A = this chain, B = another copy of it.
């Protein structure tokens, strides 16, 4: 016997009454004699009775579980999102089942299958950097399970999402660089299949255009997310190529750190000669040397909002319309771009 937990049947047997009565006594159902109720409650307490959530799920066709598919739990940003999701879910009586895709398409698809098999009431998804085929997600929608994207959404899918204003954040970052005098700004871009990265690139381009800075194709270099060594190499190569660089806008903080590292090794001064701004305001960007300017993203809030949206959809009688919740970013200027 794996589970020593007591059931309604056990209580009924010991009290010589029916399961129906026990069930009703336990939930303050109207017509139950006080004597019976008391006896049942006392025994339930004594044996530490807990309703079997599995049985309830099967009967109610509702698991009270939210499934989460996330690229990696170890990224600071994502861990804050998880924290927000968990807090909100627990508050509303839901449990959270988490699968990390480790940035692999196949594992993402497997995770979604596992979560669907577990009959989660809703799915919160942030796609992997590899994901471009959307079949696995379309199946979810087709089968009628509510799904909400956060941060890394996909386009053309009938689902709500919570994102930050990546375009505006990137624009703010580049405008800031321009205003402190940068004219040759490199953009360390992320993978093009992620919308957040395309938006950030657009923000970069718009800012250049608005300030009439000529655009040089070779100033955009794509690096994978979370691979600061790629960023370091990219900047290193550009520096060696003899190109003039006086600013770097990295589409994530890790890439920004890679850039800083390359620039320091080349004995170039930050921010005097090259200024650097990252994206995401990683927890300790303020502690590195030089501290990294960044576009701050509200991860915890994103998690809570995503959870709220999915709970709304789960509890809606009829499929409401899709919402896109856009959270504001904030430019945090630190030493890496502080020239005054």
A121 near B: Cβ within 8 Å? yes
Q: Write the A105-149 contact mask toward B (1 if CB under 8 angstroms, else 0).
A: 001001101111111010000000000000000010011110000
Report chain B residues within 8 Å CB of A139. Answer: 48
The chain B residue sitting closest to A288, CB to CB, is B287
A172 near B: Cβ within 8 Å? no
Interface size on A, residues (CB 8 A): 60
The reply to whether A98 and B99 contact each other, CB–CB distance below 8 Å, is: no
Report chain B residues within 8 Å CB of A100. Answer: 83, 86-87
A2 near B: Cβ within 8 Å? yes
Interface of A is mostly: mixed
Q: Write the A170-204 contact mask toward B (1 if CB under 8 angstroms, else 0).
A: 00000000000000000000000000000000000
The reply to whether A54 and B119 contact each other, CB–CB distance below 8 Å, is: yes
A323 near B: Cβ within 8 Å? no
Name the segment of A9-17, A28-36, A74-82, A269-277 touching the other chain: A74-82
A18 near B: Cβ within 8 Å? no
The chain B residue sitting closest to A292, CB to CB, is B287
A244 near B: Cβ within 8 Å? no
Shortest distance from the beta carbon of A36 to any chain B beta carbon, whole Å: 24
Within the complex, which residue of B63, B80, B86, B118 is in contact with A99, where a contact is CB–CB below 8 Å?
Answer: B86
The chain B residue sitting closest to A145, CB to CB, is B3
A4 near B: Cβ within 8 Å? yes
Within the complex, which residue of B51, B58, B117, B144 is in contact with A2, where a contact is CB–CB below 8 Å?
Answer: B144
The reply to whether A3 and B119 contact each other, CB–CB distance below 8 Å, is: yes
Task: Kindly state the separation between the CA atoms of A116 and B54 in the bound complex, as whole angstroms.
Answer: 11
The reply to whether A144 and B1 contact each other, CB–CB distance below 8 Å, is: yes
Report chain B residues within 8 Å CB of A99. Answer: 86, 90, 95-96
A339 near B: Cβ within 8 Å? no
Q: Write the A57-80 contact mask toward B (1 if CB under 8 angstroms, else 0).
A: 110011101000000111110011
With contact pairs A3-B144, A97-B95 given, residues A117 and B50 touching in the complex (Cβ less than 8 Å): yes
Among A58, A61, A75, A95, the one with the most B-chain Cβ atoms within 10 Å of its Cβ is A95
The reply to whether A287 and B257 contact each other, CB–CB distance below 8 Å, is: yes
